[in-house]
A and B are shown apart, each in its own frame.
Chain A
Amino acid sequence: MHEVAQSPWVAFAYLVAGVCFILALRGLSHPATSRRGNRLGMAGMAIAVVTTLVTHVPVIVDVLPPGAVGLDDWAKPRVDWVPVVEILAAIALGAVIGLTTARRIAMTAMPQLVAAFHSLVGLAAVLVGVAAFLNPAAFGIADIVTPMIGQPFAVIHQVSRIELILGVAIGAITFSGSVIAFLKLNSTMSGSPILLPQRHAINLGMALAIAFFAYGFYATQSPLDFWLVTAFAFIIGFLLIVPIGGADMPVVVSMLNSYSGWAAAAMGFTLGNTAMIVTGALVGSSGAILSYIMCRAMNRSFISVIAGGFGAVAGGGAGGEAIDRPWKRGSAEDAAFLMKEAGQVVIVPGYGMAVAQAQHVLREMADKLKEHGVRVKYAIHPVAGRMPGHMNVLLAEANVPYDDVFELEDINADFAQTDVAFVIGANDVTNPAAKTDKSSPIYGMPVLDVEKAGTVLFIKRSMGGVGYAGVDNELFYRDNTMMLLADAKKMVEEIVKALG
């Protein structure tokens, strides 16, 4: 229906929007080009929205009275301004909410914000899918059949039925899954996994039910099947994320990112819209790759993350017997002296640093060290924050220049030439047991080789606690390790004072 009336320029405009989105991601290959990329993304979105508004602007065509002559002007289609104003008001309302949130949000709360945003994409996809189901003619996906007796009705094309039901199902899973991820990341809900009995059987049953009713919708266009698929998809999204523990949230957020992309792609198929399909594919692959990177950084398989439960069992007995081993304690003055005399200091920040809000005073410390002629670098493990790249943002916010910040594979060889490794708020990602102890739950996980540095300074609140993975850290008991037991922020403040 709509395809017939569309000018080739419309398809071209959507293609341009799609290319803008590709270039937006391409710009993120380097911080220097990233802002230009983001602007291109905005331009692409503007093109897509304006094109849609212009081609779908609602019109009123007045019906000519029979026998009327000389009223040609009257018969011309006119723009129906009421829906246009409604749409612009809806966009303005969204803009105000979105811009206010973006301005106010703390950088530490970024993972929650992204999860919340994903839930909105998911819900929007569901609403669009339902709207397309209720008014298929407007989306150009149905033929109107007029039977001999009764009302004319819309028959949705079979291929569109598949696209529609897929879009709605993925959108619903994205929505409910993201809501749970948001609640967990926001600590509104406990981060520990909630394990239902027989959860794998329940999930399998749900998945089969969705497939069964989706087939029913495909075969008969039954409204009941449509609503059942939507309802089950909402429930399974909830059930899938509830058993996943806080430590695995970076994977979950990336995975939901991917889902929101696939939902957009499915809707793009329904509308035959290039911009939506290209975007969906980009976002879908992006989320999938990020999930893969996060899994690799934790040496976990994607399946084991999705199956859930990590962090529920590991917290127990492990490492208890090691507490009595001898270890060395240092003061802020010792730390300041060691670092002042060093040639190179590598700072290893973890999420604990962000929790203690120590990033700003940490940069002050780095500045002081640089004044003393010390070379300062930062080493970031891929899972150092609560989402991919989170730690880099937190350091950037504290005005740490990005060329001082290094990824695991770029800095690991450097530790052997480093005089002091300064570990703050990180734990599991520095544990040498990951390389040597086959019985350790984190065995095989790539870690930062901090123990190769001349001295390791390790800030920790007390000797008792363990990391996310619930294992003791071999590093604490090494000869070249000095434990600085205090609140991270206070300790760094004292070191800054001692540096003079």
Chain B
Amino acid sequence: MTFVSILSIFVLACFVGYYVVWSVTPALHTPLMAVTNAISSVIIVGALVASAAAGVPGAKWLGLTAVVLASVNIFGGFAVTERMLAMYKKKER
């Protein structure tokens, strides 16, 4: 992909992010932070590329360490969000 097409995706995604986040109800701002934290661990993609590549052992081990850190975040982030969201209940009636 060219730099300009990547930049286009980025700029448009910023606008999407702006409108989507304003539509989040304030009552769910803590789960919002937990889930954004989980999804920002998509950085694991870069970590996997580094761990799978042969040639430079240092890069590979850094990659594997990053895989551990990112997956702590992915599993922990989604699980804690799920736990919080399960607590939000409607009035019984």
Residues of A in contact with B (beta carbons under 8 Å apart): 3, 11, 17-18, 21-22, 24-26, 28-32, 34-35, 37-38, 41-42, 44-45, 48-49, 52-53, 56-58, 80, 83-84, 86-87, 90-91, 93-95, 97-99, 101-103, 105, 107, 110, 113-114, 117-118, 120-121, 123-125, 127-128, 130-132, 134-135, 137-139, 159, 253-254, 257, 260-261, 263-265, 267-287, 289-290, 293, 380, 382, 385, 387-390, 392-393, 396-397, 399, 401-405, 407
Residues of A within 8 A of B70 (CB): 94, 120-121, 124
Can you report 5 A-B residue pairs in the complex whose CB atoms are below 8 A from each other?
A52-B45, A83-B54, A98-B75, A117-B37, A280-B10
Q: Mostly helix, strand, loop or mixed at chain A's interface? A: helix
Residues of B in contact with A (beta carbons under 8 Å apart): 1, 3, 6, 9-10, 13-14, 16-18, 20-56, 58-60, 62-92
Answer whether A131 and B59 are a contact pair too, CB < 8 Å, given A3-B1, A114-B33, A284-B17: yes
Q: How far is B18's CA from A289's CA once the two chains are assembled, in angstroms? A: 8
Answer whether A128 and B47 are a contact pair too, CB < 8 Å, given A98-B76, A99-B79: yes
A87 lies within 8 A of B76 (CB):
no
Residues of A within 8 A of B85 (CB): 31, 34-35, 38
Given A25-B21, A124-B47, A278-B9, 5 additional A-B pairs, CB 8 A: A18-B13, A21-B42, A25-B35, A90-B71, A134-B59
Answer whether A128 and B6 are a contact pair too, CB < 8 Å, given A48-B42, A98-B73, A393-B87: no
Answer whether A127 and B48 are a contact pair too, CB < 8 Å, given A28-B35, A279-B40: no
Give the Cβ gap from A256 to chain B, nearest Cβ, in Å.
10
A278 lies within 8 A of B32 (CB):
no
A289 lies within 8 A of B22 (CB):
yes
Q: How far is B44's CA from A397's CA once the two chains are assembled, in angstroms? A: 31
Give the Cβ gap from A378 to chain B, nearest Cβ, in Å.
10
Q: Which residue from A35, A86, A123, A293 sits with its C-beta under 8 Å from B69?
A: A123
A134 lies within 8 A of B51 (CB):
no
Q: Which residue from A103, A285, A389 sits with its C-beta under 8 Å from B30?
A: A389
